[in-house]
Amino acid sequence: MTWAGAWPSHVIAESRRKLIDLRDELDGLSDGTSSEVEQAVSRFLVVRACGHIEFTFEEAFCALAESRSSPSVASYVRSGFFRGSNPRPSRLTETLGKFDPTIAGVVTAHLEAGDQRLSRELSFMVDRRNKIAHGQSENVSRRRALQLGEVALEIGDAVTSALDPRL
């Protein structure tokens, strides 16, 4: 089978655009903004950044499966995703390794480059998202949220590139 659609797909591109819009909104808050609003937007950016990685990975993985398999196999693969699984580095690489060890190696190398910077940042992001979602951590600085937004864009772009179904 071949991939006939655009890449990245519309839904992946929209997820990225919405993350950028939220990042820019937080970055553009005026100095007069209340600390409560700044904290709320910072927490939302962390949750959204982590969600972008999760969604981008799962959508790109399914697109790759669709491009390489029959419709029934692709449907089966898709049925196993989009259940709110945390995008921990090990989950990404282990899931990819079951499908295509070469692509898993590319993504692993990207996450582990530079003293495992992206892997550490992703693990931190997942931890913060879970704590925010469960009411255990109400504090994330504006600067840190913006950094995590950038990390999410970098990882999302790397995943989109590595799992390109046109290749």
What pLDDT sits at residue 57? 94
Give the pair of three-digit tokens for residue 44.
């939302």
pLDDT tens for each residue of the chain, 167 residues long:
677 789 999 999 999 999 999 999 999 999 899 999 999 999 999 999 999 999 999 999 999 999 998 899 988 888 888 887 899 999 999 999 999 999 999 999 999 999 999 999 999 999 999 999 998 876 899 999 999 999 999 999 999 999 999 98
Domain assignment present for 158: yes
pLDDT given for residue 70 in this prediction = 87
Question: How many domains does the chain contain in total?
Answer: 1
Residue 153 lies in a domain: yes
Residue 2 in any domain: the answer is no
Say how far apart CA 167 and CA 98 lie, in whole Å. 18
In this structure, is residue 107 part of a structural domain?
A: yes
pLDDT for the residue numbered 105? 97
Q: What is the dihedral of CA 15, 22, 145, 60, to 10 degrees?
A: 0
For residue 1, what pLDDT is reported?
64
Domain containing 74 equals: 10-162
The predicted pLDDT at position 82 comes to 81
Instruction: Report residue 95 as tokens.
Output: 């899931």
Q: Does a structural domain hold residue 67?
A: yes
65, part of any domain = yes
Q: Cα(95)–Cα(155) distance, rounded to whole angstroms? A: 16
Residue 5 lies in a domain: no
Q: pTM for this structure?
A: 0.93
Residue 139 domain flag: yes
